[in-house]
Structures are given as C-alpha cells and as structure tokens.
C-alpha cells in the first residue's frame, strides 16, 4: 500500500493523534515538512491519500507552497483520492475547490462545542453523534466549496466541516494530544494574552481536565478517520 502523505506547515502542528490512528491500523504514512522547505510533490501517484495539517499562517498569504498544494489537491480530486484537512488544511482544501477564506467573526482558541448537522452526509461521517466538544485555534474561516456538504457548525463559526466525496475538511482540530495542547499554549502565549475575543481561553482553562477531554475527542476522531481511510487506495 502506498503511504498517506501528511503535510506539516508548522513544527508543532504535526499529525498528532492522526498518526497514532494510522499506526494502529497499519497504514503507512510519510511526513512532508513544508515548514522545513520540503517540496510539495508534483503529483499524487505515489500516495494513497493526502492530509493537510494546521499552521499559524493564512492560505491567502503569498506563499509558494499554497498554490502548489492547491494544484496537488486538484489532482487528488481528479483521481478520486481521499484528501483530509485540519484547520489551515481544511481552509487550503476549500480554497483549492473554489471556496474563499475570510476572517471569522471572532478568534477561537480553546475548547468549544460543535453540532453535527441533520443531513445524510453528516450521518454517514458521524453516525448518531449529535455534537461534541472539540479544540479550536483559528482567526479565519472557509466558505463551503461548490458541491460540498456542510457537516458541522458552532455558535462562533458557522462552517466547521464539509465533505465532497472522499474529501473531508475541518476548521476545528480533532487531532489533538495533551502534549500538543501544552506546546501550543506555550507557543501562542502572546497571541492569547493580546486577544480580546470572548472565544479565547486562558492556557490554564484549556489544560483543565485535559486528559478526559482529549480522550473524548480521540473517540470522535476515530469515527472521522475510520470513515476516511475506507477510500484509501490499497494497490
């Protein structure tokens, strides 16, 4: 089986729990370190699927890898290859598929609930789950790409996830581990302190009952990831 290509855009925003999930299911993967100037592949033939992680930058920034990644996502969509996006990754996929990325009404940092919408595609991905508490760290948001179906929403951000065939994009972070939350709180201390958004939590709040919250989020991630790997090319 060809590996899943995972694109990292910032040193501390790696695959997290997603890598644990792939290892548990004996699915090979390779990490492409965009943050260390590794090149975006020219094509998708060497991979069974593509996964794009988060990052502090904007997909509207004039970064060369943004256009290159969008081209790769187009190629994956044309080949019916599964594509998965977390936060910045979800925005990148939305941009590639014709969506637009704009400022969210408020910056979201920390834990917060999302609702699963009542439509057939949402039930396909989430089963009987009506909602869950997830982790957020974003100031921008995506529009739903043409042809995609909106799956999740929250009071702070209307578009939290979408799906289009084998493509699944999220605004929220379901890949979190306890270590990642600690590191992000350290790296983002100045951003947290400078924010006046009512949806930004203090580090101590984010880390309260963290083990239980992360375990519950991992269980939700299992649903999403299990549905997503069904489409991986096995040849």
Which sequence spans correspond to the domains of the chain? Answer: 4-229
Residue that has been written with the tokens 């991630």 in this structure: 221
Q: Which two tokens stand for residue 227?
A: 């549905």
Cross-strand bridge partners of residue 111: 135
DSSP H/E element including 105: strand 101-116
Orientation angle between helical segments 210-229 and 17-24, nearest 10 degrees: 50
CB 29 within 8 A of CB 19: yes
Q: Is the pLDDT of residue 235 over 80?
A: no
Tens-place pLDDT, residues 44-59: 999 999 999 999 999 9
Q: Stretch 58-86: mean pLDDT, rounded?
A: 97
Q: What mean pLDDT comes out for the span 131-145?
A: 98
CA distance linking residue 126 with residue 221, whole number of Å: 10
4-229 CATH fold: Rossmann fold (3.40.50)
Calculate mean pLDDT across residues 32-55.
98
Enumerate residues 6+ apart whose C-beta is below 8 A from 120. none
């Amino acid at each position: 089986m060809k590996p899943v290509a995972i694109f990292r855009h910032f040193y501390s925003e790696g695959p997290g729990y997603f890598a644990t999930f792939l290892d548990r299911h004996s699915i090979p993967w390779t990490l492409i370190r965009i943050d260390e100037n590794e090149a975006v592949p020219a094509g998708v033939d060497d991979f069974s699927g593509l996964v794009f992680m988060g990052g502090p930058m904007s997909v509207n920034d004039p970064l060369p890898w943004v256009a290159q990644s969008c081209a790769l996502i187009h190629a994956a969509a044309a080949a019916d290859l599964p594509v998965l996006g977390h936060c910045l990754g979800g925005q990148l996929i939305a941009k590639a598929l014709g969506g637009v990325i704009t400022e969210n009404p408020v910056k979201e940092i920390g834990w917060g609930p999302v609702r699963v919408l009542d439509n057939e595609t949402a039930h396909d991905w989430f089963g009987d789950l009506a909602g869950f508490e997830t982790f957020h760290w974003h100031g921008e948001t995506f529009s739903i790409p043409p042809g995609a179906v909106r799956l999740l929403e929250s009071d702070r951000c209307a578009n939290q996830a979408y799906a289009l065939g084998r493509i699944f994009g999220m605004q929220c972070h379901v890949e979190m581990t306890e270590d990642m939350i600690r590191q992000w709180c350290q790296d983002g201390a100045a951003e947290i302190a400078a924010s006046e958004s009512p949806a930004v939590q203090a580090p101590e709040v984010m880390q309260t009952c963290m083990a239980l919250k992360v375990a519950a989020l991992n269980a939700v991630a299992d649903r999403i990831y299990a549905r997503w790997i069904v489409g991986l090319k096995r040849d």
